[in-house]
Chain A
Amino acid sequence: MSDAAAPLRDVPGPSALGGSRRRALELLYLIAVTEFKRHYFGTALGYLWSIARPLMLFGVLLGVFTQVFRLGSEVPHYEVLLLFNIVLFGFFQEATGAAVTSLVAQEGVVRKTQFPRLVVPLSVVLTSLFNLGLNLVVVVVFLLAFGVDPVWTWLLFPFVLAVLIAFTTAVSMIVSALYPRFRDMAIIWSVLATVLFYASPVLYPIDKVPETLRDVFMLNPLAPLLELARKWVIDPTAPGPAAAAGGWPQLLPAIAIFAATCVLAVWLFRREAPRVAEEL
């Protein structure tokens, strides 16, 4: 009782991002770590699954594309490229897939407590980022094992990673904000994500796509991103996104789509956040 009276402060209601920064970060960390642990809790292999899952997919696809379709022999370091792409795209797919239902999955927390709502989709991205970190270690091992020479452009990879995280976060915000009011989102997104998997240069490099279709393929922001990663990390002789698209201006639509996605994400999430507890 002895402490001085705390000042009256406005209670503005819930928002996307508001209140103490420290608290938001602690919550983000707690939810992400708990989800990460929970995912592998009680499994025999534990965290090894984080690595085993992409490796198994990699094994199957490698068999198909080197033994059946013979695509592998025409692309330098196809094996490592395939694994690298699977790991990068896997991060996008895992995070956005889990983000769709994230606000509903955290219903108990969202309906009964006050905290910046953005923490929920961000925590999903962070959990997937833990997985990505583990997987990138495996990728490095493969890179060296398959005789890819380290080059200075490896140092540029964090740029690719940053853009990938930004795009993944933006899409996660959009799908998670839409789902509580529009439950079809879960199904729509699972289909869209599969379409994106085949439409992005994951299984094949972009220069294998016919010229006539390449403009359409390059609208997808993930396409130039994966091409950039390929050129910088695995194959310095690869054309890179600009050359593959036919010049820098051809990349502008993808950049515009990326920017629009980010703007839409912020606008939509800010609009939905105050009332999301009422929609669950």
Chain B
Amino acid sequence: MEEVIAPTAAVPSSARDDRGPVVIEVRGLDKSFRVPDRRIDSLKERATHPLTRVAYREHHALRGVSFDVRRGEFFAIVGRNGSGKSSLLKVLASIYRADAGTVRTAGRMAPFIELGVGFNPEMTARENAVLNGVLMGLTLREARRGLDAVLDFAELQDFVDLKLKNYSSGMLVRFAFAVMVQADADIMLIDEVLAVGDAAFAQKCMDVFRERRLAGKTIVLVTHDMTTVQTMCDRAMLIHDGELRFIGEPEDAALHYYRVNFAGRDSGPAPADGEKVVDVNARVVHAQLRDAAGGATEALAEGQPIVLDVVLEAARALERPAFIFHVRNADGQAVFEFTRTLGERVGAGRRVRLPGTVENRLVPGSYALDLYVREDREGGGMTVQGLRLLTFSVQGPPRPYGVVSVDAAVEPELERDA
């Protein structure tokens, strides 16, 4: 069988521990909605059509879904719109009742659904923050005490007594996310938070996810963004037509996602001008680091140059593709990045080699090398694909501070009295 994706060694993170206890256990979950073909909502309709029986269409949102999530995992649920992933999240959050199957969870759960928490637009931010704190399992006292932290995080101190209906949508999402974070639940169920808000907010969310995961909290994220899945998540699950199609490594889940999305369909949604589209641009044929003798290695000495040996295969024709390398540390933070552009067209199936040597100033620790393959489209817009190429470590005595080591021509001198 052809190797289509990079060697996926375990992500070097303390949170990635398959021995962790199961905190979400789902077995044979079934959920249907009765969708009336013609909704009879009122007496008049009932009176004018007394003999029509309301015809219901059965919409089978989830069929026999089973999976486990372990403590400390950053778990992604991916799938197209209407695939059932949001229904699944609502069953997990105990908002919908399953028709069959069981869900068991351990610990306190904070849901973040449809871009929000349980807000009432007629109430002020203060009242909503306290109410939702209690809804997420805090005591009234804890919820009141946490109010300042919520407002600080959301940067909304000046609007605490404003009714929520007067908030902008960006403010609402920020506020909702802050409320959920403050609830400090053991399991966070999050539906598409990163799709909205500005870059600074998305970065803030990511920082929270990282920090919470290190603290042993579990995060379940529903998303369309394969770049997030591949760079952040430990495991991912693909839901399609209410069925579990794939569960496993994020890279493989992303590939399956692209297949169900683009394969067989008329090339998927056409990208609008200026829009960023996630697409399958390339596949990794081969990705390794080399040591001085030319052999493959996953461990570098401190200061030992990073020698790349990467080969990609274009999944489709690419016009002047750009290759953006990110080196991330164990916290998921990008330590440095660099971009190289190939100044010509690459036909579908052609291979691109990315050899070279990169200066190594990394402090000892675990790292991942990610690659974004980007193609700028004529007249604006672009497609981008995130790939995790490999993971490696830098050996040496641990450093308490800093993410890079630098040469510093600094010598202390005792200043002499004149």
Contact = CB atoms under 8 A, between A and B. Distances in A.
A6 interface: yes
Contact of A14 (B97, B111, B140): B97
A113 B89 CA distance: 11
B98 A113 contact: no
A74 to B, nearest CB: 42
Contacts of B96: 13-14, 275, 277-278
Give the residue among B91, B117, B131 with the most A Cβ atoms within 10 A. Answer: B131
A21 interface: no
Given A108-B119, A111-B95, A183 B131 contact: no
A106 B130 CA distance: 15
A113 B92 contact: no
Given A109-B118, A109-B120, A275 B97 contact: yes
Interface in A182-218: 182-184
Size range of the chain A interface in the assembly: 35 or more
Given A14-B95, A38-B122, A26 B117 contact: no
Contacts of B135: 27, 109, 113-115
Contact of B43 (A12, A113, A184): A184
A31 B131 CA distance: 8
Contacts of B139: 22, 26
Contacts of B23: 5-6, 8
Contacts of B186: 6
B363 to A, nearest CB: 24
Interface in B213-233: 215-216
Nearest to A8: B104
B97 A34 contact: no
A8 B94 contact: no
A158 interface: no
A9 B95 contact: no
Contacts of A114: 93-95, 109, 111, 135
Nearest to B97: A13
Contacts of B107: 6
Interface in B366-400: none
Interface string A100-128: 00000110111111110000000000000
B113 A11 contact: no
B240 interface: no
Give the residue among A106, A112, A184, A278 with the most B Cβ atoms within 10 A. Answer: A112
Given A30-B134, A38-B122, A278-B96, A6 B106 contact: yes
Nearest to A3: B216
A155 B33 CA distance: 53
Given A8-B104, A27-B135, A38 B42 contact: no
Interface string B70-95: 01100000000000000000111111
A247 interface: no
Contacts of A23: 134, 137
Nearest to A188: B43
Contact of A11 (B94, B116, B216): B94
Contact of A112 (B91, B104, B113, B134): B113
Give the residue among B21, B109, B135 with the most A Cβ atoms within 10 A. Answer: B135
B246 to A, nearest CB: 24
A184 B43 CA distance: 7
B94 A108 contact: no
A95 B110 CA distance: 31
B91 A30 contact: no
B136 interface: yes
Closest 8 CB pairs of A and B: A13-B97, A1-B216, A109-B118, A114-B94, A113-B118, A5-B21, A11-B103, A8-B104
Interface of A: 1, 5-14, 22-23, 26-27, 29-31, 34, 38, 105-106, 108-115, 181-184, 274-275, 277-278
19 contacts: A1-B216, A5-B71, A8-B23, A8-B25, A11-B94, A26-B134, A27-B131, A30-B130, A30-B131, A105-B120, A109-B118, A109-B119, A112-B111, A113-B93, A113-B132, A114-B94, A115-B135, A184-B41, A275-B97
